[in-house]
A and B are shown apart, each in its own frame.
Chain A
Amino acid sequence: MDEVRRRRALGLVAAAGLLLGALLLGACVGVTSLAPLRVLATLADRLPGVHLGGSLRGVDEQILLQLRLPRVLLAALVGGVLAIAGAAYQGVFRNPLADPYLLGAAAGAGLGATVVIAYLPVTRVGPVGIVPLAAFIGALSGVALAYGLASVADRSGSGGATLLLAGVAVASFLAAGQTMVQQSHSDELREIYSWILGQLGSAGWTDLALALPYAVVAVVVLLLAGRALDVLAVGDDEAQALGVSPQRVRLVVLVAASLGTAAAVAVSGLIGFVGLVVPHVVRRLVGGSYRIVLPVCLLGGGAFLVLADVVARTVVAPGELPIGVVTAFVGAPFFAALLRLGDGHV
């Protein structure tokens, strides 16, 4: 037991260290490199009562504080939320292929974003961009539709299978709608397409502020649900016998995970792979208990996306690669190697 506990503690510390390292790297690397010590000094200077020499000045300071920092923190938030939501989805459905987009969150967000890009002339409502807003509403509507469809179709409560199928149906339906709108508005194609591929390049503090409240609620609920997911992992009947209502756990976890996913998608577009693969990697390293998988996913997913974003903006600098391309292009071989090392067990 001590061995397990030590391994979990190690996993948590390692993930936190990785995230901090990734954040520092992300803050320093870019079109022009900023010296890590000066970056830290600049950040420390923002604390009350601290005044250090050697902080950045002028354009460098503006770039760090107004552009790079929000971008790096948003990447960490989005990556962390997608990974923890992915782990939660996999737990709820007891299915290794589940990811945060399974129930139509991505397709709904895509449809919402595409419709406003295609049909609405305004781009903002007050300080809030209309595309994130539409994506957020679309994502939640997609999941709600899948959930509603499943509960109508499945009065007997046969577990997650019906919901999963309903999610597939809703996602296909919404994706078809999205494609239809997109095809009839070829002028806005690039705008729509660049949103779908995911972007952090235009992230500012407002995007972070927009996503943070929902993300925090989602993360707190999911972290608290770790034990319930562990119980659910043994099966619905067994969970029931242990005094846990599978339906209730499923509902609470799915609502929280979908809320987080919707917030992430709204500010960053559709970034694939993170929510699917990070949980599997984490499970291999710290074991299968959701009490440890969920927090490590939060930290590790954040680190992964921050690093992916560093790759996205340095490989073809000063150009940018779409972040979704990087997560899959870098993540897929990494995951394949991990599968190979672990004899193919998921």
Chain B
Amino acid sequence: MQPGPFLWECPVLSTSLRPVHRTGSARPIPPGFRPVRTASLLAIGAALLLAACGGPGGGASSTVTSGTTGGSSAGTTSPVATPSVPTSPVSTVIAVHQFPVTVHASNGTVTLSGAPHRIVSLSPSLTEILYAVGAGGQVVAVDSNSNYPAGVPTTKLSGFQPNVEAIAGYHPDLVVASNDTNGLVSGLKALSVPILLLPAANTLADSYQQETTLGAATGHAAAAQQVVSTTQRRIAAAIASVGTEAKGLSVYHELDNTYYSVTSSTFIGGLYRMFGLANIADSAAKAASGYPQLSAEYVVRSAPGLIVLADGKCCGQSAATVAKRPAFSGVPAVTSGRVVVIDDDIASRWGPRIADFAEAIAAVLKRG
């Protein structure tokens, strides 16, 4: 699920803003007109919702096997400085000697004969990972929802309703995506364009695995390893900084103002579990395993000690609006000032910025 920003916050960048590519091949053809389907909106909505929510059956696992060329462990890349700000490339040096490389994704084993230089990303999380591992310079186009880091080559490409022709127009030598809809994988296979299908991560381990995979696939294996270990270190430090006071504190994570929430079985819910927090949505798991809809009454009744709002951007929610909701004035999180707004994007993506999220949660927990 990616409740993202409004359209004007992620403007389609003009070609002049796109980074200059070393490959210097033909300018990308803008995606063509996509026919509108007027089929039952409920059916489409349901299908898309399922796709958007990335069910737990997605099988987010992916693994990397070493390149077929041996002895590639020599560190030709500089170490990661600050993974939280992947805008400044970690390393633009591509470890070309590591190719060909074979990586495993949800769509099977993919072998890349050389380092990709025209990557198309159809997932905001994968875009963030690509830039974090230092492969940003190899990215030529990202989907309409990708908006981080600043300056990514955002296009009209859709990650939910991908159009193979429009993607092919960018002449990619690697496509990374999280959803195989509209025949994306088979379509690209027909065009002999390698694709890595890396679905929504359900655990931190899934996320780290995807970072490792994308690092290996783009020639930034060492940098990806740095990103993973830094993220792990930052999350561990954030959790350690809170101490034991927060253990057992109950948390309510809000996806929108109609009380959709996340259970512990989701990626973000797993982080709350690591903090030792009790998630009030867990008892509603039978309503929807990952993202159940709760009621105002239940939230008030559960008396959460921490409220995390992931609907600041989408729905204009804040500590002030929550305090003003009927019957919320006595909720412990409200009275103790533990209501925090986390950027919708950070809270819904599984890239390295998850460490930012952990640090923000730690800061609020220490506040009380």
Main secondary structure of the interface of B (DSSP, over half): loop
Asked whether A63 and B1 contact (CB < 8 A) given A183-B36, A189-B52, A316-B284, the answer is: no
16 A-B pairs within 8 Å (CB atoms) are namely A59-B327, A62-B326, A62-B327, A66-B327, A67-B295, A67-B327, A188-B314, A189-B49, A196-B42, A201-B295, A202-B258, A202-B259, A318-B295, A318-B298, A319-B294, A320-B292
> Given contacts A124-B316, A195-B258, A321-B287, could you give 7 more A-B pairs where the C-beta distance is less than 8 Å?
A32-B301, A67-B297, A187-B5, A191-B258, A319-B286, A320-B294, A320-B295
Distance A67 CA – B331 CA, assembled complex (angstroms) = 14
A296 to chain B, nearest CB (A): 30
Report the minimal beta-carbon distance from A132 to chain B, rounded to whole angstroms: 13
**A258: CB under 8 A from chain B?**
no
Q: With A179-B36, A183-B161 in contact, is A189–B48 under 8 Å at CB?
A: yes
Interface residues of A in 208-258 (CB under 8 A from B): none
Contact of B44 with A119 in the complex, beta carbons under 8 Å: no
Residue of B nearest to A123 (CB): B316
User: Which of A62, A110, A122, A316 meets B330, CB within 8 Å?
Assistant: A62
CB–CB A190/B326 < 8 A = no
List, in ascending order, chain B residues with CB within 8 A of A318's CB.
283-284, 287, 294-295, 298, 302
Contacts of B260 in A (CB 8 A): 190, 194
Are A193 and B5 in touch, CB under 8 angstroms?
A: no
Interface size class of chain B, counting residues whose CB lies under 8 Å from the partner chain: 35 or more
**Closest beta carbon of chain A to B67's beta carbon, Å:** 36
**Chain A 163-200 interface 0/1 with B at a Cβ cutoff of 8 Å (1 = within):** 00000000010011011101101111111111110010
Q: What is the 8 Å Cβ interface bit string for chain A, positions 18-57, against chain B (1 contact, 0 not)?
A: 0000000000001110000000000000000000000000
Interface residue? B337 (CB, 8 A)? no
* Distance in angstroms between the alpha carbons of A119 and B285 in the assembled complex: 32
Given A123-B316, A176-B36, A179-B37: A187 and B287 within 8 A (CB)? no
Contacts of A31 in B (CB 8 A): 295, 297-298, 301
Q: Within the assembled complex, what's the spacing in Å between the Cα atoms of A58 and B301?
A: 11
A313 at interface by CB-CB < 8 Å: yes
Cross-chain contact of A190 among B3, B5, B285 (Cβ < 8 A): B3
CB atoms of B296 and A182 under 8 A apart: no
Is B257 part of the binding interface, using a Cβ–Cβ cutoff of 8 Å?
yes
Cα distance, A110 to B44, chains bound together (Å): 15
Within 8 A of A (CB), among B284-318: 284-288, 292-298, 300-303, 314-316
Residues of chain A in range 100-125 having any CB-CB distance to chain B below 8 Å: 110, 118-119, 121-124
Query: Chain A nearest CB: distance from B256 CB in Å?
Result: 5
Q: Is the CB of A186 within 8 A of B160?
A: yes
- Interface SS majority for chain A: helix
Chain A residues 65-80 with CB under 8 Å of chain B are: 66-68, 70
Residues of B near A121 (CB, < 8 A) are: 6, 316
Q: Is B2 an interface residue (CB 8 A)?
A: yes
Q: Which residues of B contact A194 (CB under 8 A)?
A: 256, 258, 260, 293
Chain B residues near A59 (CB-CB < 8 A): 300-301, 303, 327, 330
| A63 engages B36 (CB within 8 Å) | no
Q: Which residue of A lies closest to B4 (CB)?
A: A187
Residues of the A chain whose Cβ atoms lie less than 8 Å from the Cβ of B46: 193
A199 to B214, CA, bound (A): 41
The residue in chain A whose Cβ has the minimal distance to the Cβ of B2 is A187
Q: How many A-B residue pairs have CB under 8 A?
A: 156
**Residues of B208-258 whose CB lies within 8 A of A:** 255-258
A204 within 8 Å of B (CB atoms)? yes
**A320-B287 in contact (CB<8A):** yes
Closest Cβ–Cβ distance, residue A114 to chain B (whole Å):
9
What string of 1s and 0s marks CB contacts (under 8 Å) between B1-30 and chain A?
A: 111111100000000000000000000000
Contact A68 B297 (CB under 8 A): yes
Kindly provide the distance from the CB of A54 to the nearest chain B CB, expressed in whole angstroms: 21
| C-alpha gap A196/B286 in the complex (Å) | 22
How far is it, in angstroms, between the C-alpha of A153 and the C-alpha of B128 when the chains are bound?
A: 55
Contacts of A122 in B (CB 8 A): 316
| Residue A334 lies at the interface, judged by CB distance under 8 Å to chain B | no
Q: For the complex, is A329 an interface residue (Cβ under 8 Å from B)?
A: no
Q: Which residues of A contact B320 (CB under 8 A)?
A: none
Q: Shortest 7 CB-CB distances between A and B: which pairs?
A: A319-B287, A187-B4, A319-B284, A316-B287, A66-B326, A319-B292, A318-B298
Give the docked Cα–Cα distance between A31 and B299 (Å).
10
Roughly how many angstroms separate A313 CA and B1 CA in the complex, as a whole number?
23
A191 touches B314 (CB 8 A): yes
Q: Which residues of A lie under 8 Å from residue B45 when comparing CB positions?
A: 182, 189, 192-193, 196
Q: How far is the CB of A142 from chain B (nearest CB, A)?
A: 15
Q: Which residues of B contact A58 (CB under 8 A)?
A: 330
Inter-subunit contact B296/A67 (CB<8 Å): yes
CB-defined contacts of B6 to chain A, threshold 8 Å: 118-119, 121
B38 interface residue, CB < 8 Å from A?
A: yes
* B52→A183 contact, CB < 8 A: no
Interface residues of B in 49-83 (CB under 8 A from A): 49, 52-53
Cβ distance A128 to chain B, nearest Cβ, rounded Å:
14
Contact B258 A199 (CB under 8 A): yes
A318 to B4, CA, bound (A): 27
Cα of A322 to Cα of B1 in the assembled complex, Å: 19
Chain A contacts for B125, CB-based, 8 A: none
Answer whether residue B158 sits at the interface, using C-beta atoms and an 8 A cutoff: yes
Bound Cα distance A183, B44 (Å) = 9
Chain A residues, Cβ within 8 Å of B286? 316, 319
Q: Does B127 contact A (CB under 8 A)?
A: no
B150 within 8 A of A: no
Cβ-defined contact, A205 with B297, below 8 A: no
